[in-house]
Amino acid sequence: MRRLPSSFYTRDTHLVARELLGKLLVRRWRGRELAARILEVEAYVGEDDRACHASHGLTARTKVMYGEAGHAYVYMIYGMYHCLNIVTEQANFPAAVLIREVAPQFATSAETDGPGKLTREMHITRSLNTEYLAASDKLWLADDGFSVASSRIIRTPRINVAYAGADAKLPWRYLYQPKRLTQSA
DNA sequence: GCCAGGATCGTC
DNA sequence: ACGATCCTGGCA
pLDDT, tens only, A58-103: 999 999 999 999 999 999 999 999 999 999 999 999 999 999 999 9
Is A150 among the domain residues?
yes
Tens-place pLDDT, residues A121-174: 999 999 999 999 999 999 999 999 999 999 999 999 999 999 999 999 999 999
pTM for this model (two decimals):
0.95
In whole angstroms, B10 C1' to A117 CA is: 12
C-alpha dihedral, A47 to A85 to A110 to A36, nearest 10° = 140
Cα separation of the two ends of chain A: 42
Which structural domain, as residue segments, surrounds residue A87? 2-176
CATH number at residue A130: 3.10.300.10
Residue A181 counted as domain residue:
no
**What does the DSSP 8-state code read for residue A167?**
G
Is residue A185 domain-resident? no
Work out how many domains chain A is built from and give that number.
1
Pair type for strands A173-176 and A153-156: antiparallel
A55 lies in a domain? yes
Minimum-distance nucleotide, CA of A96 to C1': B7
